[in-house]
Amino acid sequence: MVTNLPAEAKAKFAKYMEAKTSEEKLRALEEFLSAVPKHKGTENLVRWIRRRMAELREEIEEKQQRKLGGGVSFFVEKEGAAQVILIGYTKTGKSTLLKYLTGARVEISDVPYTTKFPAIGMMPYKDIQFQLVEAPSIIPEGGGWNTKVAGLVKNSDGVVLVLDATKDIKSQLNDIVSFLESHGITLERPRGYVNIEKSHSGGIRIVNYGKLMCTEDDVIKLLNSYRIYNAVVKIYGEVDLDYVEKALFERTMYKPAMVLINKIDLVNGSIRKEVLPIKLDVPLLLVSAVKGFNKMLLGDALFNMLNIIRIYTKPPGGEPSSKPLILKKGSTVLDVAKAIHKDFIKRFAYARVWGSSVKYPGQRVGLDHILSDGDIIEIILRK
């Protein structure tokens, strides 16, 4: 349902979008909130405003702490094919898992909250590596610490929810999911997705990669009513006008996820998958970080959840590279060309591909050919 905000509220929202600093944004949101009529149609919007205001307050507080020399960021530079965060409550075995999977030297202990900063390791899988990052455990009482944990997840390519088999699995899972949701992170792949980037000129441009369930004119009218006259609007999946309006407010971020139930050695296999109360539609593995388990199985699950493919480039007449390029599933020859060098697109003549995306080895393809995992590609340039 579209919120049907009065013009006054929309004008206030336009102010929020123009605000630069966290302080300005917070003030603008306060004004916006007081101008939004409270009814069923605006419930989600009001919830979003409150959440965003809480986030801004935490940002402001963190900035002040940093000025005073306190407060450390949990930011971790990406390495390898993808960055995956291990998240969970204390003593679920995250450090033990990290050590088992990557050999990282981390402190494992029965003392709660032993890991105080992100711990990092590289997990080999086939001819690539995943960067695993153990997040400091989530604290049930909440606070700024948890915000930093959520920040780690936001910056990552995916998350592994580490649960303790000896404790209540359902509540651990629900609590982590709602913790992430309260920070604007969803673990379920959305049906559709809209990205709005404001620009300075060019009017409203709609780039449709999916299916728009209203007219482009409806979208333009809606954005204009929020005083947005120049923007690029990208549509993915199935999107209606409601989604477009939501995209203006909510910055919900989708992160691929899987669940690891650890310490399975302590419950004598008494957890049966079919009785697991898992509503979340994500892969799940039962493991023991102490007894060990099939690392390949976890690697496969991570690779699938991340929705990535490995592409091997080769120079004409040469050998394929031993290190693959990592691209999103559905990537095309154009994406490979862009990843190699920006001149490659301008000078592109054709490409030859070996692998499961083509009918015969060395088939000639164009820029919009969709590649598959394991493909070898040779790009031929115009002289």
Ligand X SMILES: Nc1nc2c(ncn2[C@@H]2O[C@H](COP(=O)(O)OP(=O)(O)OP(=O)(O)O)[C@@H](O)[C@H]2O)c(=O)[nH]1
Parallel, antiparallel or unpaired: strands 128-134 and 82-87: parallel
Residue 113 as a binder of ligand X (CB under 6 A): the answer is yes
Q: Give the nearer residue to ligand X in terms of CB position, either 31 or 265.
A: 265
Span from 24-32, 64-72, 111-119, 259-267 in contact with Mg ion (CB under 5 A): 111-119
The site for ligand X, by CB under 6 A, has a size of: 22
Residues 6+ apart with CB under 8 A from 155: 75, 76, 83
Burial (CB count <10 Å: 0-12, 13-18, 19+), residue 319: exposed
Residue 114 as a binder of ligand X (CB under 6 A): the answer is yes
Smallest gap, in angstroms, from Cβ of residue 261 to Mg ion?
A: 17
Residue 102 as a binder of ligand X (CB under 6 A): the answer is no
Q: Give the nearer residue to ligand X in terms of CB position, either 239 or 264.
A: 264
Residue 262 as a binder of ligand X (CB under 6 A): the answer is yes
Smallest gap, in angstroms, from Cβ of residue 123 to Mg ion?
A: 16
Task: Please report, as residue ranges, which positions from 271 to 310 form the binding site for Mg ion (by CB under 5 A).
Answer: none
Q: Is there a contact between 364 and 344 (Cβ–Cβ < 8 Å)?
A: no
Q: How far is CA 202 from the centre of its chain?
A: 30
Smallest gap, in angstroms, from Cβ of residue 99 to ligand X?
A: 8
Residue 93 as a binder of ligand X (CB under 6 A): the answer is yes
Residues 6+ apart with CB under 8 A from 288: 262, 263, 264, 265
Smallest gap, in angstroms, from Cβ of residue 95 to ligand X?
A: 3
CA angle 258, 261, 281 (to 5 degrees): 35
Task: Please report, as residue ranges, which positions from 25 to 44 form the binding site for ligand X (by CB under 6 A).
Answer: none
Residue 310 as a binder of ligand X (CB under 6 A): the answer is no
183 binds, among Mg ion, ligand X, none (CB under 5 to 8 A by kind): none
Query: Helix or strand or coil: residue 29?
Result: helix
Virtual torsion, Cα 169, 170, 172, 173, nearest 10 deg: 110
Among 10, 12, 25, 91, binds ligand X (CB under 6 A): 91
Span from 84-92, 150-158, 206-214, 273-281 in contact with ligand X (CB under 6 A): 84-92
92 binds, among ligand X, Mg ion, none (CB under 5 to 8 A by kind): ligand X
Span from 109-117, 125-133, 249-257, 283-291 in contact with Mg ion (CB under 5 A): 109-117
* Helix, strand, coil tally for the chain in percent (to 5): 35, 25, 40
Q: Give the nearer residue to ligand X in terms of CB position, either 109 or 215.
A: 109
Among 72, 266, 349, 380, binds ligand X (CB under 6 A): 266
Tracing tokens 């993808």 back to the chain, one arrives at 82
Residue 263's closest CA among 232, 289, 239? Answer: 289
Tally the C-alpha atoms within 13 A of residue 80's C-alpha that lie toward its C-beta: 22
Smallest gap, in angstroms, from Cβ of residue 93 to ligand X?
A: 3
Helix 241-249 and helix 43-67, axial crossing angle in degrees, nearest 10: 20
Query: Helix or strand or coil: residue 297?
Result: helix
Residue 172 as a binder of ligand X (CB under 6 A): the answer is no
Residues 6+ apart with CB under 8 A from 40: 1
Residue 95 as a binder of Mg ion (CB under 5 A): the answer is yes
Rg (CA), the chain: 24
Residue 148 as a binder of ligand X (CB under 6 A): the answer is no
Span from 66-74, 218-226, 261-269, 278-286 in contact with ligand X (CB under 6 A): 261-269
Residue 115 as a binder of Mg ion (CB under 5 A): the answer is yes
Q: Where does this chain bind Mg ion (CB under 5 A)?
A: 94-95, 115
Given the rule CB under 6 A, which residues bind ligand X? 90-96, 108-110, 112-115, 137, 262-263, 265-266, 288-290
